[in-house]
Structure formats: C-alpha cells, structure tokens
Amino acid sequence: MGENRMSGESGSSNESMGDGADELRSQPILNADELVVGYPSIDEPVIDGQTLAVPAGEVTALIGPNGSGKSTLLKGLANRLEPDDGRVLLDGQRVDSFESKELARKLGRLSQQNTAPDTITVEELVKRGRYPHRGFFESQADGDGDAVDEAIAMAGVKHLRDREVGTLSGGQTQLVWIAMALAQDTDVLLLDEPTTFLDPRHQLEVMRVVETLRDESETTVVLVLHDISQAARYADSVVALKQGSIHASGPPEVVVTEDLLADVFDIDAKVIETEHGPVMVPLNPIDANHPSQTGETEVLQRGDSSRNGQE
C-alpha cells in the first residue's frame, strides 16, 4: 500500500497519490498538473512545475516552513492566481474555464485573514456565502435559508447568530467565517491556516468541523496547517512543501517522520507514534551551514556590542 506513496525526492512523489492508489484511494477531484504559479510583482515563480492530486472526499493537509509556497499553491488551486504554466483540473475540467460564480459553487476558499464590517451580524455574514448561488437580480435564492441554518449549525455558532461580528473573539470569528464558507456549499473547500492564532479549544472546534465535513457531506478539504501534529492527526494525506516544490506526500504516518522534518523544516524533532497518529516534538533547529555554532555567534555579537559601548 505504501510502496509508491512516499518518497524523499520531490520528483517521484508526484505520481504517488493519483494512479498508484486503487484500493482505498478515491478518484482525485482536484489535480494540479505541472503547475507554475507566482505573483506578478516577482519574477521567479513561487511554485515551479508541481503536480498534485487531491483525492475526493478526504482531508489533505499542506505543511511546510514559512515561505514554502503553501498558500500560493492553495491560491493556484483555487484559480485566484493565474498559472504561468501548467493547469489545474477540478472534476477533470480546467478551473479557469469555469464561469466565476460556477467555480465558486464547486470550490470554496477561506483565506488566512479576513475582515468583515464590524456592524453586521453573524447571520448576515454567513448569508453572504450564498452569493454564488444567486442570480444578478435575485436577492435570495431557493435553499438559502436552509443552507445558512445548516452552515451555522455545522460550524457550531448557533448561539452567536445574532451577534455583531465586531464583538466576537478571534476563535469565534474564525468559526463564523468557516460557517460562511460552508454556506457556499461547495464540493471542495480550501482553508488557509484555519487554526493559526487560535486557542486549543477553538483549534479543536475548527478541526471537528473539518472532520464533520468529510464524514457527513463528503466534502473534499485541503488545508494549510502549521501544527504538524494536527496535520498528522486529522488529515488523510499530508503534502510537505519546501521552497516551492512538493517534497513528499502520502498518509501522515508515512510522511511525518523525523527524517522528513529534518529535510523540510530544518529541525531536529522526535516523532512519537500514538493512538492519535504521529505526534511531533520539536527539539532543536538545525543550522545547515554552521552546525552548533549558534552559541558562538551570539557571543561574538555580544562582544561587538560591548566594544561599541566602550567607544
């Protein structure tokens, strides 16, 4: 089962998820094909020719250090960034061939930081997630009410329904935004760091919503996570990125290993197998160029500053 699922090299890992997996793996719903994406203001693309297949009805977590291109890849998948080369297929159809509202009915995306007007209520915000389901002159589409109720219930924010968004805590706000994305009622949902900056309880609540989505409405979820143990616990497959390329992908127990953490994150870490999946304990940063010299530099700098002080 695992033979072609995981590999240390970026090249061979690319095929691991789509074709080789017949028994348990479902068909991929979202495919990135030799995708090259970047930002117009930067010459070098951030993601340079990566291939990825996201299995339908599963939770896929993107992990990687800051600046490794996780968010960029997510934006590329969502057609938020126009690819310089390659293509993204949703259900076998190019994402840029969809009409924008049509795409938004199939694929939802919640970005890292969202700001809503303070003076609207939670219910009003969640309702705005129904936008792609409405025609230009329709102020309300069929099923809006039910979808909003369902989204609010699933995100567990019923008790906040009539509160103004400006009065919520950070964790509550995040759940409300997730409710908005749920009201959009898409087959695929992309979440950019949904748990970063949240307290443990709200992190758990967010991840519970993600699990419910997969188990009850068979939604495919792709999410960027900073917490590697969290990714290992909740995701069906983990994709590790480093410097814009996919370093490894596969089930968490295969991807989240001490070797990979050293390669991808430059950290010395211990991975402990538990009943909740592999748990990662970070120990030390690895400095590739100057192993174990961090202490020395510090002393040097201190010496510098004291000399400056004397002058």
Q: Would you tell me which residues interact with another protein (CB under 8 A)? A: 40-41, 78, 80, 100-105, 108-111, 114-121, 123-125, 128-129, 131-132, 134, 137, 139, 158, 161-162, 164, 180-181, 184
Name the residue among 174, 181, 176 with its Cα closest to residue 157. 176
Instruction: Between 61 and 176, name the residue whose CB sits nearer to another protein.
Output: 176
CB of 38 to another protein, least distance (A): 12
Instruction: Between 17 and 46, name the residue whose CB sits nearer to another protein.
Output: 46
Instruction: Between 126 and 231, name the residue whose CB sits nearer to another protein.
Output: 126
Could you give phi then psi for residue 174, rounded to 5 degrees? -60, -45
CB of 248 to another protein, least distance (A): 28
Would you say 225 and 62 are in contact if contact means Cβ atoms under 8 Å apart?
Answer: yes
Instruction: Between 181 and 256, name the residue whose CB sits nearer to another protein.
Output: 181
Instruction: Between 127 and 247, name the residue whose CB sits nearer to another protein.
Output: 127
CB of 101 to another protein, least distance (A): 4
Instruction: Between 110 and 239, name the residue whose CB sits nearer to another protein.
Output: 110
CB of 148 to another protein, least distance (A): 11
Q: Cα–Cα–Cα angle for 129, 112, 131, nearest 5°?
A: 10
Would you say 76 and 88 are in contact if contact means Cβ atoms under 8 Å apart?
Answer: yes
Secondary structure letter of residue 83 according to DSSP: -
Strand pairing class (220-224; 59-63): parallel
Q: Cα–Cα–Cα angle for 135, 136, 140, nearest 5°?
A: 55
Would you say 58 and 107 are in contact if contact means Cβ atoms under 8 Å apart?
Answer: no
Query: Within its chain, how far is the Cα of 272 from the centroid?
Result: 23
How far is it, in rounded angstroms, from Cα 137 to Cα 133?
12
**Which residue in the block uniquely carries the two structure tokens 């190019």?**
94
Instruction: Between 23 and 162, name the residue whose CB sits nearer to another protein.
Output: 162
The two tokens of residue 138 are 């329709």
CB of 274 to another protein, least distance (A): 35
How far is it, in rounded angstroms, from Cα 88 to Cα 53?
10
Instruction: Between 179 and 271, name the residue whose CB sits nearer to another protein.
Output: 179
CB of 299 to another protein, least distance (A): 44
CB of 172 to another protein, least distance (A): 17
Which residues, in sequence order, are bridge partners of residue 250? Answer: 238
How far is it, in rounded angstroms, from Cα 302 to Cα 299?
5
Name the residue among 76, 65, 84, 67 with its Cα closest to residue 30. 76
Would you say 55 and 30 are in contact if contact means Cβ atoms under 8 Å apart?
Answer: no
CB of 269 to another protein, least distance (A): 33
